[in-house]
Amino acid sequence: MMSGNSSVRRGLSLIPAAPVSIAFALAACLCLQSCRPSDDDLRRIIRDEMGSAGGREALSSAGVIGPYSPAVRAGKFLFVSGQIALDPGTGQMRQENIGVETKQVLDNVMRVLRSAGYDSSDVVSATVYVRDMKNYVSINTIYAGYFREKDYPARVAVEVSALPKGANVEIAVIAYRNR
């Protein structure tokens, strides 16, 4: 028999247990376990959604500046690594102004999308990293031109202290093709 000072381990926290509530908690856990999908069902659901027949494929490119892939296809999803304003023709940063830099970043994103058979209409989420939020309006104006109005992807914009190669903006996207 448990005393009123004992505890039951639940998740990562300890909850004080009373003798009467232990049986109730055990019964509730058993009921919840039988009502939720099994681990195998969850794996099947995730595998189906990710299009397991397609597997996982890293797209390679000689133009990357580190140990990463420009994009990874997982089923119908394409995860595009953050792109900065590296001109693919010269390997130099395009930073004449924030507008030119943002345009080069988005051109790079679109190039990676196209190389995998996707386009801007397939983008479902974007993460924009900026070194100075004072540039946000300019970045936003250029960004809007790359996506269809009323069909913009979900987006997060984050101010950061530094980006690779002294970039002022970096954009990563996730695309999904249901075709």
Residue with tokens 């397991």: 52
127-154 mean pLDDT: 95
DSSP letter assigned to residue 52: G
Listed in order, the ranges of the chain carrying CATH 3.30.1330.40 are 53-176
pLDDT over threshold 80, residue 25: no
Is the confidence at residue 19, as pLDDT, over 50? no
Output DSSP code: residue 93.
Answer: B
With CA atoms as reference, report the closest residue to 144 among 106, 96, 175.
Answer: 106
pLDDT at 27 over 50: no
**Average pLDDT in the chain:** 79
Exposed, middle or buried: residue 102 (CB in 10 Å: 0-12, 13-18, 19+)? buried
pLDDT band at 68 (very low <50, low <70, confident <90, very high): confident
Q: Hey, what CATH topology would domain 53-176 get?
A: 60s Ribosomal Protein L30; Chain: A; (3.30.1330)
Residues 54-69, mean pLDDT to the nearest whole number:
65
Length in residues, the chain: 179
Residue 1 pLDDT level (bands cut at 50, 70, 90): very low
Residue 150: the pLDDT is: 85
pTM of the model: 0.69
